[in-house]
């Protein structure tokens, strides 16, 4: 193991311990701990520690697209919430589920997988949480389950050909999107069935704890609206509900079709929503300011995670960890290389950024796989299996969006997602092995 790899492992270990023991907030830890170890890495490399400034800037620059997507998406859905788009939807869902936690949780998984088709975790969490948190609050269902199901659903749908990991695996292994999609589809189907079964399990547990709550008649609507202030009620635009719904659906089509980037799509959506729903410029600015506090924490956490990513990448820590992981493969296990690569992808996808793993680790490991007689498809599919827990990594910016919107703490969510995500990993592998996407 190289000195840089050791520094990297110590940094990640220290970061997790400090966050778990709550010696620092996650925001402070993600900035200060990497900074300390970054200085050590610079000294080890013989570099001036002040070069960390450029590394951090590069890390922050790398999240600008996601950063602006979250900013505009949260603003957009906050405006739609103010206009009352979700009230009739929430009321209808409450009546359909009849206060049954089992139906709510299974519906959560189905909705999250559908919304996650665009391959963007932040958008998925924003849409699902905005619509479902009021229902969870009304029925007193644990929002930890909501967060877990959203994240696991995003893990599945991020395997679509336009998802970040899949795109990178295709580039590294020289595959086309249609080949990747056909090869990954069985794993995605197995994963979807697993998450729906998990949602049913959570639902049965909550049904036993809470029972089936009577929300017949207008109770669901009354309970939901009763919490609104006079000012909030004055912002409602019930006559424009159909327009707002059509606009939102149109934006979803643009996202899935990939005609516009997510940040541009939601930026345009924000502008149209403000002008059509509230003609007064003063009211428009008031709403933007009101919704502003909802994304400050999320964006701050994303920026602090970018500091970690920038330091790891710039100092060479990511590359050092990548080389160390590739050296861990025993020669005797070469005939089972895809299965071994799938196992390596679990910590690889979690401890490294997507770029570091797929552009740093995978090219090295793929050469070893080819030497053992395995194909590009075998290697690429095996490398994506670790996606089962990737979305709860502290390096994933959208993870903080899910935490903020559901009001959960990082460690609690990571515990439940990793626990049940390992089952999702098995489901992925079953689908891949059963169809020959990669052999054992």
Query: Angle 263-34-37 (CA atoms, 0-180°, nearest 5)?
Result: 155
Helix extents (H) in 353-409: 354-356, 362-371, 376-384, 387-390, 397-406
* Cα 289 to Cα 55: distance, rounded to the nearest angstrom: 32
Share of the chain above pLDDT 90, in %: 32
Of the ranges 7-16, 109-118, 266-275, 282-291, which is most confident? 266-275
Q: What is the pLDDT of residue 417?
A: 95
The answer as to whether 337 is a domain residue is: no
The answer as to whether 421 is a domain residue is: no
Which has the higher per-residue pLDDT, 224 or 62?
A: 62
Hey, what are 254's tokens?
Answer: 């643009």
Sign of CA dihedral 42, 47, 48, 51: negative
- 10-22 as b/e: b if 16+ CB within 10 A: ebbeebbebbeee
Residue 217, class by beta-carbon neighbours within 10 Å (0-12 exposed, 13-18 middle, 19+ buried)?
A: exposed
| N- to C-terminal Cα separation, the chain | 28
* Cα 192 to Cα 156: distance, rounded to the nearest angstrom: 7
The answer as to whether 412 is a domain residue is: no
Torsion of Cα atoms, 352 then 354 then 355 then 356, to 10°: 20
Boundaries of domain holding 85: 64-160+181-300
- 230-263 as b/e: b if 16+ CB within 10 A: eeeeebbbeebbebbeebbeebbebbeeeeeebb
Q: What is the mean pLDDT of residues 347-358?
A: 80
Domain total for the chain?
1
Contact 110, 197 (CB under 8 A): no
| DSSP percent split of the chain into helix, strand, coil, nearest 5 | 80, 0, 20
The answer as to whether 312 is a domain residue is: no
Comparing CA positions, the residue from 154, 65, 123, 153 lying closest to residue 248 is: 123
The answer as to whether 143 is a domain residue is: yes
SS (H, E, C) 74-111: HHHHHHHHHHCCHHHHHHHHHHHHCCCHHHHHHHHHHH
Residue 214, class by beta-carbon neighbours within 10 Å (0-12 exposed, 13-18 middle, 19+ buried)?
A: exposed
Biggest alpha carbon distance in the chain? Answer: 72
The pTM of this model reads 0.69
Per-residue pLDDT tens over the stretch 299-337: 787 788 788 888 988 998 878 877 776 677 676 777 788
- Separation in Å, CA 436 to CA 112, 187, 336, 425, 431: 28, 11, 13, 16, 9
Q: What is the pLDDT of residue 187?
A: 94
Per-residue pLDDT tens over the stretch 110-132: 888 887 876 667 778 888 888 88
Q: What is the mean pLDDT of residues 264-268?
A: 90
Binned at pLDDT 50, 70 and 90, residue 228 comes out as low
Query: What is residue 212's three-state secondary structure?
Result: coil
Binned at pLDDT 50, 70 and 90, residue 292 comes out as low
The answer as to whether 332 is a domain residue is: no
Which has the higher per-residue pLDDT, 181 or 55?
A: 55
The answer as to whether 107 is a domain residue is: yes
The answer as to whether 414 is a domain residue is: no
| Total residue length of the chain | 440
Per-residue pLDDT tens over the stretch 380-413: 999 999 999 999 988 888 888 899 889 899 899 9
Position 227 pLDDT exceeds 60: no
Hey, what are 177's tokens?
Answer: 């999107």
CA 108, distance to chain mean position in Å, is 15
Position 84 pLDDT exceeds 70: yes
Of the ranges 125-129, 195-199, 289-293, 372-376, which is most confident? 195-199
């Amino acid at each position: 193991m190289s000195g840089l790899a050791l520094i990297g492992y110590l940094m990640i270990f220290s970061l997790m311990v400090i966050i778990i023991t709550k010696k620092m907030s996650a925001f402070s830890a993600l900035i200060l701990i990497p900074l300390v170890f970054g200085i050590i890495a610079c000294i080890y490399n013989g570099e001036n520690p002040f070069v960390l400034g450029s590394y951090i800037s590069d890390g922050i620059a790398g999240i600008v697209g996601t950063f602006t997507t979250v900013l505009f998406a949260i603003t957009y859905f906050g405006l739609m919430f103010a206009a009352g788009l979700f009230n009739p939807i929430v009321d209808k869902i409450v009546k359909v589920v009849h206060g049954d936690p089992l139906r709510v949780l299974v519906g959560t998984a189905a909705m999250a997988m559908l919304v996650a088709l665009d391959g963007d975790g932040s958008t998925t969490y924003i849409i699902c949480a905005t619509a479902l948190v009021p229902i969870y609050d009304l029925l007193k269902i644990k929002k930890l389950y909501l967060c877990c199901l959203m994240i696991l659903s995003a893990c599945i749908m991020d395997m679509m050909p336009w998802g970040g990991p899949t795109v990178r695996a295709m580039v590294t292994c020289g595959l086309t999107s249609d080949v990747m999609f056909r090869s990954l589809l069985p794993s995605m189907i197995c994963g979807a069935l697993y998450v729906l079964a998990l949602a049913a399990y959570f639902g049965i547990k909550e049904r036993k704890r809470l029972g089936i709550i009577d929300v017949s008649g207008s109770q669901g609507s009354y309970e939901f609206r009763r919490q609104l202030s006079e000012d909030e009620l004055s912002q409602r635009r019930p006559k424009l509900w159909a327009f707002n719904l059509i606009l939102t659906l149109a934006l979803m089509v643009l996202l899935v079709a990939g005609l516009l980037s997510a940040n541009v799509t939601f930026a345009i959506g924000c502008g149209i929503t403000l002008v059509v729903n509230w003609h007064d410029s003063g009211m428009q600015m008031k709403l933007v300011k009101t919704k502003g506090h909802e994304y400050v924490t999320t964006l701050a956490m994303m920026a602090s995670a970018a500091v970690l990513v920038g330091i790891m990448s710039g100092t060479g820590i990511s590359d050092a960890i990548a080389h160390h992981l590739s050296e861990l493969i025993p020669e005797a296990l070469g005939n089972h290389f895809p299965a071994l690569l799938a196992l390596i992808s679990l910590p690889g996808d979690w401890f490294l950024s997507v770029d570091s793993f797929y552009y740093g680790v995978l090219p090295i490991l793929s050469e070893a796989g080819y030497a053992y007689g395995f194909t590009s498809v075998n290697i690429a599919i095996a490398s994506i299996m670790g996606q089962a827990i990737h979305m709860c990594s502290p390096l994933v910016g959208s993870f903080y969006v899910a935490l903020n919107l559901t009001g959960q703490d990082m460690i609690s969510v990571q515990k439940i997602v990793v626990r049940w995500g390992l089952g999702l990993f098995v489901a992925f592998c079953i689908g891949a092995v059963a169809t020959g996407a990669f052999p054992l």
